[in-house]
Amino acid sequence: MAIVEAKQLTKVYGSGETAVTALDHVDLSVAPGEFVAVMGPSGCGKSTLMNLLGGLDTPTEGSISIDGKEVAGMTDEELTKLRRRRFGFVFQFFNLIPVLTAIENAALPLTLDGMSEAEARAKAADWLAKVGLSDRMKNRPDQLSGGQQQRVAVARALVTDPALVLADEPTGNLDSRSSEEIAGLLKTASDEWGRAILMVTHDPRIAAHAHRIVFMEDGRIIDDTQIAGSDDARKAMEKVGLL
Amino acid sequence: MSVSFKLAWRYLWGRKLRTFLTTLAVIFGVMLIFGLNGMLPGMIDAFNRMLLGAAGQVDLSVTSASSGYFDSSIVDKVRNVNGVAAATPSLRRTVGMPTGSALGTVMVVGIEPRSARKVHDFQQQSGRFLAGSDRGVVVIGTDTAGELGLRLGSKLTIPSVAGTRSFEVIGLLGNASSPGASEIYMSLADAGMLVGQPGKVSTVEGRFVTGVDRAAVESRVRRALGSDYTVGGLSTESQLLASLKVGQFSMTMFGVFALIMGGFIILNTFRTLVSERRHDIGMLRAIGARRRTILGVFLVQSLVQGVLGTALGLLAGWGLALLAVNALVPIWRTAMHMDVTIKPVFTPGNWAVSIILGMGVTILGAIIPARQAANITPLEAMRPQMAEVADRGHKKLVLVGWTLLAVSVPLLFITGNTSAIGMGAVLFLIGMILVAPALIAPLSNLFARLLRVTSPATAELSSSNLTRQPGRAAATASAILISLAIVVAIIGLLNSIFAGFFSYIDKSLGSDFVAIPQGLIIGGSHVGADQNLVNEIAGTPGVGDVATLRLGAGKINDGEVQIIGVDPVMYPKVASFTYSSGTSVADVAMLGKGRTMLVNGIYSAQNGVSVGQTLQVETPNGLKDYKVVGIATDYLNAKLASTYISQDNLESDFGVTTNVLVLANAETGASIPMVKARLERLFRDYPQFILYDSKDFKDSQVKLIEAEMPIFYVLIGMLALPTLLALLNTLAISVLARTREIGMLRAVGATRRQIKGMVVAESLLLAGVGVSFGIAGGLVLGYALTFATDAMFPMPYVFPWMGIITAIISGFTFALLAALIPSRQAAKLDIVEALHYE
């Protein structure tokens, strides 16, 4: 069964003459452990799709089910709980709390869920070690490089053992070396730790780490291709005219 | 530790300067409330100790319901009540000592030695105690003896109604019965002669049989004596205490105003925090933080600041009370001849009000921004970090503000009613606060035109910085508005009061010579003089008309009131009242016809009394009906609720013949200095009076007022301080919030000097807006205050030029001071760090 399944998903901003259709009857599903990259030009609806699938925004039309359960009609409280326990988020701008240390940032979703501080810290420490930051646990964000901050964000996204990690341009603010590291981490999360990943990216090299690339244009999915490595990725991109 | 608490604490600790500045606002408000209210109960307590004597040390205390003297035979009625073991009469009176005495006042206590020892526990240390037949001797406490430099056998001179009298010290007591009150014990007969009340007593004190039901005995005593007597505590001079309580209320209001300003500062800080942390909050919501967790972060933060600010405010308030009390004691000694030890007293009520308001205002100030924060959607985390953008206007609130302003105008200027004007002033101030966001842009553009002359680029930037956050600028301007409006209004009111008082002096004390009590209060510690002195004055060569004031105490509708006796024929010849509309000098003559009275402005305003009404006055001889024939005020009694009757009526109804104030004119052509020299010789035996010629007196009053002015200035200065705090806080926030933008400006070529200039200009613009608001608010508030006070003390309205100048100077000086640190911080920012600032 798919972790997340969207049917005829539509999002319209504004109304009347000023209405803009950001997403136009999109169907998409993500299976457990699958790493999906979403690509397309600016304004094609990638981020809107991600926000809707992550329960951050509500669709104008269509339905989303997560773990087979329909999202429509969920209360704010239920959606909050769902995000906390089933999803992990990685943002382009890292979004770490500047006054908390790396380990406190990574432990945040667990402490928000009421886990004891000691237990949450122990789990966060494990994940920080897995992302290669065991020597930076007590540093605050301003004492970490961009790549290190994003690794803390990945650890924070994975610490709750989520079914799906949503990553919105996770390498958009990083140099190429750090970008490769983060993409590799996400791949590991999918291949070795069994997490489903849905990643929005502009970068073909980063998309090449995924198992599948979904191409979007003008709010619609124009292609959905399984890939196995950078050659497949390049061919898929050439097919839709992105390269 | 909960997530909310941890985050709140980290945010507070991570922004120490901002935390400090915001907390400072709370500290300041709590300090004023706690400190000022701690000072006043201390003063009231000192009065109690001075005036109410040892009432607390006995089981029972009986006084006249009209606070006057009564026949000593009443003690037998008390003794006969079942449950009373012993009762003793006493005659207590605070007496002002001659100039040069080590003590300004002493408490003369006439006692019946045998029965007094059954009620009081006198500890004889040396010499002997009084005996029944003793005359011309006194027993005093060792501390009083030490202060006056007396030993056994020494002579003590005390002013009396018939000139000074000398007493021999025959015994020293180990314990003064009430600390701080210097008691002089003498026979009842001697005390009666001294204060001109032979055979009379002021109190009967009693001791109960051990183990009796105290309430039941008190109630039996009450039944035995009837309604002419008060059983329980003493109530002497409680008009003064009432005045102090009014003062206490005003002080609380100052503190409350200061805290409201604190509330605005806190509101501003938290609004900025929310806007700065939108990204963090969005992310927290995205990863599963509940709305209430976000609400909790901000509320915990405000709670921590509230606790910290309140605790430090209480500490600072304690210091303020101590400082103020120490500064006041010498002034009391000089102005009122009251020799007391005042200690700050912090009542449970004061603790409760200070803590509740301190914590309450902090949490209230944070609650709206906290709710806004809780409503931030997780999508905010997805958006790129934006620089500060313009906030939305609150059109509905602005509309409500304009409506309130429109409603306030007729209330202020058409109704002519004190309550309506007061309500109009409050509506006006609230209206101004609500319309402030809409006025920020036009006013700031107006002031920016002036700045453009010196630095066009800086003026443009600072003006746009202000106008893109009209909410924040308006909250700051509102804090300045309240602060400076109070400054303008109080200075205006003081100017009007002083102008009014000087006009009273001219009228009420328009005679060539005036002999007044040392303490300027004609009751209380002043023993006065009998008719012999007046006759001697009238017989002095060069002296023309002579008039006097006499003083009795009575009750009208259970409220205490001064009853002043005047001679309806002589008084208008040497002095004049300030008449309220409808009353004229002809009405003074009416006092000679039957039981008629004039009431002063305060009494009329407080009790709603008008001309033609008949008032039932409680006198030592029972209830008497007096018809009100006019409303008039004399200078010395302008501050206390008073009524004026003829001296004949005062004698027949109140038994008072003592003169407490003497006014005399010189004969035409007589040399003032020569007549004064003759009168001075006469007054040598009456040191309780100070003799002035009218010019000297006016000068002495100006000096007295000038001596009190520094206290007013300190208070007024403290009220303007929040202006500095509000500006400092807003500028610090503004610089922090625009760190990236400042980095960008530096990157594209702005010099450090230009950045500094931009922050200073922003401060000056904000001050310009705030000062404009403050002056407008102050003029209205001052008008309302003067109108309300005018009902009690008729006075001219003096336009507060001084207040306006003070507001302008303090507003802009504080603006420059407030900009010092933030502008330096902004100018010093490292470009790269600033561009990456989160």
Q: What is the pLDDT of residues B492-513, one digit of tens each?
A: 877 787 777 777 666 666 678 8
8 Å CB contact of A56 and B379: yes
d(CA B325, CA B186): 33
Q: What's the pLDDT at B386?
A: 45
Chain A contact for B5 (CB, 8 A cutoff): no
Give SS3 for B392: coil
The least confident of A10-14, B667-671, B677-681, B710-714 is B710-714
Q: Between the CA of residue B220 and those of B75, B79, B83, B216, what are the distances in Å?
A: 14, 11, 9, 6
- Best interface-test mutation with B: which of A66, A84, A97, A154 has the largest number of B CBs within 10 A? A97
Cβ–Cβ below 8 Å for B287 and A156: yes
Confidence at B179, pLDDT banded by 50, 70, 90: very low
What digits encode the pLDDT tens for the residues A55-104?
888 899 999 998 888 888 888 788 888 888 888 888 887 778 877 889 98
pLDDT at B186: 93
Integer angstrom CA distances of residue B639 from A5, B497, B501: 83, 11, 10
For B391-424, how does the pLDDT look when each residue is reduced to its tens digit (9 = 90+)?
A: 555 678 889 999 999 998 888 877 767 677 778 8
Query: Per-residue pLDDT for B311 more than 60?
Result: yes
pTM of the model as a whole: 0.58
- Percent of chain B residues topping a pLDDT of 90: 6
Nearest to B14 among A84, A95, A99 (CB): A99
Chain B hits for A56, CB-CB cut-off 8 Å, are: 286, 377-379, 382
pLDDT of residue B645: 93
Chain A hits for B378, Cβ within 8 Å? 54, 56, 83
CA distance B739 to chain A (A): 15
* Residue range A152-167, pLDDT digits in tens: 999 999 999 998 999 9
Q: What is the pLDDT of residues B644-661, one digit of tens each?
A: 999 999 988 888 888 888
B134 touches A: beta carbon within 8 Å = no
Q: Nearest residue on chain A to B287, judged by CA atoms?
A: A84
Calculate mean pLDDT across residues B462-482.
78
* Pairing outcome for strands B596-599 and B622-633: parallel
Give yes or no for A114 touching B (CB within 8 A): no
pLDDT of residue B7 exceeding 90, the answer is no
pLDDT score, position A190: 92
Q: Which of A93, A95, A113 sits opposite B288 (nearest CB)?
A: A113
User: Chain B contact for A101, CB < 8 A?
Assistant: no
Partner B contacted by A98 (CB < 8 A):
yes
Residue B237 has pLDDT above 50, yes or no: no
Residue type at position A57: D
Q: Do B11 and A104 touch (CB under 8 A)?
A: no
CB-CB under 8 Å, A104 with B287? no
In whole angstroms, what is the distance from residue B519 CA to residue B514 CA? 14
Residue pair B837/B739 in contact (Cβ under 8 Å)? The answer is yes
Q: Which residues pair with A29 in a beta bridge?
A: A5
CA distance A152 to chain B (A): 14
Interface pTM (ipTM) of the complex?
0.73
Chains A and B form CB pairs within 8 A to the count of: 84
Indicate the pLDDT class of residue B731, thresholds 50, 70 and 90: confident
Nearest to B288 among A112, A141, A142 (CB): A112
Kind plus residue range of the DSSP H or E element containing B259 = helix B238-276
The pLDDT, as a whole number, for residue B550 is: 87
Chain B residues in contact with A76 by the CB 8 A cut-off are 291
Q: What is the mean pLDDT of chain A?
A: 89
How high is the pLDDT of residue B254? Answer: 61
pLDDT of residue A6: 93
Six-digit token string for B212? 């009796």
A83 to B286: CB separation less than 8 angstroms, yes or no: yes
Q: Which residue of A has its CA nearest to B381?
A: A95
- Of the candidates B436, B487, B485, B472, the one whose C-alpha atom is nearest the C-alpha of residue B762 is B472
- pLDDT attached to residue B390: 45
Q: Which residues of A touch B10 (CB under 8 A)?
A: 97, 99-100
Q: Does A104 touch chain B (CB under 8 A)?
A: yes
Q: What is the DSSP letter of B524?
A: T
What is the rounded average pLDDT for all residues in chain B? 78
Spell out which residues of chain A touch residue B293, defining contact as CB-CB under 8 Å: 112
Residues of A in contact with B835 (CB under 8 A): none
A88 touches B: beta carbon within 8 Å: yes
pLDDT attached to residue B333: 57
pLDDT of B312 above 90 = yes
Mean pLDDT across A189-217: 92
Whether the CB-CB separation of B3 and B300 falls below 8 Å is answered with no
Q: Are B577 and B507 in contact (CB under 8 A)?
A: yes
